[in-house]
Chain A
Amino acid sequence: MASVFPDGFEALEPFADWAVRGEKARYAKRLASTMDELDAFYNVAFPLLESSKDYLEQVSMEDISEQDKRLLWLFCALVTVAFPVEAWRQPRVPDSGPSTIDAILEPAV
Chain B
Amino acid sequence: MPHFKKPAEGSWTEHLKIGTEPVSYEDSISPEQYEREREAIFKRTWLNVGRVEQLPRKGSYFTKELDAARTSVVVVRGTDGEVRAFHNVCRHRGNKLVWNDFPREETSGVCRQFTCKYHAWRYDLDGKLAFVQQEGEFFDLDKSAYGLKQVQTEVWEGFVFVNLDPENTTPLRAYLGEFAKGIEGYPFHKLTQVHKYRAEIGSNWKLFIDAFAEFYHAPILHSGQYMADEARKIQKYGYEALHYDIDGPHSMVSSWGGIAPPHDRKMVKPIEAALHSGLFGPWDAPDIGLALEDLPPAINPSRDKRWGMDSFVFFPNFMLLIWRPNWVLTYHYWPTSYNTHIFEGTCYFVPPENAFQRLQQELAAVSFKEYGLQDGNTLEATQTMLESRAVRDFPLNDQEVLLRHLHRTARAYVDDHQRRSAEAGTPATS
Q: Mark A66-109, 1 if CB is under 8 A from B, else 0.
A: 00100110011011101100111000011111111111111101
Stretch of B211-219, B361-369, B394-402 at the chain-chain interface = B361-369
> B195–A103 contact, CB under 8 A?
yes
> A106–B195 contact, CB under 8 A?
yes
Count B interface residues, CB 8 Å: 42
> A97–B270 contact, CB under 8 A?
no
Of A59, A75, A101, which one neighbours B345 at CB under 8 angstroms? A101
| Interface flag for A7 (CB, 8 Å) | no
> B194–A79 contact, CB under 8 A?
no
> B366–A79 contact, CB under 8 A?
yes
| Interface flag for B373 (CB, 8 Å) | yes
Return chain B residues, CB-CB under 8 Å to A9: none
Return chain A residues, CB-CB under 8 Å to B351: 61
| Interface flag for B199 (CB, 8 Å) | yes
> A50–B354 contact, CB under 8 A?
no
Q: Given that A46-B274, A79-B359, A107-B195 are contacting pairs, would A93 and B354 also be in contact in the complex, using a CB cutoff of 8 Å?
A: no
- Considering the complex, give the chain B residue whose CB is closest to the CB of A62: B353
Q: Given that A46-B270, A97-B380 are contacting pairs, would A23 and B201 also be in contact in the complex, using a CB cutoff of 8 Å?
A: no
| Interface flag for A64 (CB, 8 Å) | yes
> B356–A96 contact, CB under 8 A?
no
Return chain B residues, CB-CB under 8 Å to A60: 353-354
Q: Mark B220-258, 1 if CB is under 8 A from A, else 0.
A: 000011000000000000000000000000000000000
Of A72, A82, A86, A101, which one neighbours B355 at CB under 8 angstroms? A72
Return chain A residues, CB-CB under 8 Å to B198: 101-102, 104
Report the Cα distance A59→B249, complex, angstroms: 47
| Interface flag for A49 (CB, 8 Å) | yes
| Interface flag for B150 (CB, 8 Å) | no
> B359–A93 contact, CB under 8 A?
no
Lowest 7 CB-CB distances: which A-B pairs, in order? A105-B196, A82-B271, A59-B355, A56-B356, A96-B373, A99-B377, A101-B199
Q: B: which residues have CB within 8 A of A?
A: 193-201, 224-225, 269-271, 274-275, 343, 345-346, 351-359, 361-363, 365-366, 369-370, 372-374, 376-378, 380
Q: A: which residues have CB within 8 A of B?
A: 23, 46, 49-50, 53, 56-61, 64, 68, 71-72, 75-76, 78-80, 82-83, 86-88, 93-107, 109
A-B CB contact pairs (8 Å), 11 listed? A23-B362, A23-B366, A83-B366, A87-B224, A93-B373, A99-B199, A101-B199, A101-B369, A102-B199, A103-B196, A107-B361
